[in-house]
Structure 1
Amino acid sequence: ADLAILSNGLKYPSFDSSYFEKKAKIWQKKYSRRRHLAKLLVLQDRNKKVLCPRSLESFTNWQKAQKSKAKCQAKAANQRRDYLHKLTTHLVKQYDVIAIEDLKTKNLQKN
């Protein structure tokens, strides 16, 4: 549950970027819906044999959704990276020796 627990009992919680992750999830739904509708319209143009059929790139609505989704995902990733950088910098400046141990709690419960 925690990102790091020090030997003196100090706990660092894992990063919570739920706001931008929720926004990215919402934009992912919008993107998928808009792309699906654009594909359907392209297929309708193709089946009706329109003189000037539309291509998928001509629909700007799903491209805007794609950009917004990418911005939200990048923002969440940047915040997560920034949190980790600040935490590791703080630990390195404060302590002389750092030892890392990866514990699996399921194995501890079995023993």
Structure 2
Amino acid sequence: MHELAIAENLVDTVCTRAAGRPVRRVTVRIGALTAVVPDDMRFCFDLAAMGTAAHGAALDLDLRPAMVFCRVCKIDQRLPDRIPLCPCGSADVTVTTGRELHVVSVETG
């Protein structure tokens, strides 16, 4: 479960930025290709936040689909799974979304 390591790093980063202020809400953008399981991420965030300025903070996840630009079809396609192939079968694609994993906002108070 790599979500725990991600959550621990997230809590450390957010608490450092909060500079002692209590963290109320954290929004994180997560792409489908990161293989992060949303429910596991929420659980691990709550666990990692215990005893920190982020204890009790809400974690909002902005889940992004995996999209590729197919050089054969010349169009953007949404991937039905985590395999970066165009639905036409071509592997000649550029991933345009789905690899995101970053903090969008932090609410303190």
Fold match by TM threshold 0.5: no
In our comparison, the structure showing a higher alpha carbon Rg is 1
Q: Which one has a larger percent helix, Structure 1 or Structure 2?
A: 1
Normalised by the length of structure 1, the TM-score is 0.26
Normalised by the length of structure 2, the TM-score is 0.26
Greater length-normalized contact order (CA 8 Å, ≥ 6 residues apart) = 2
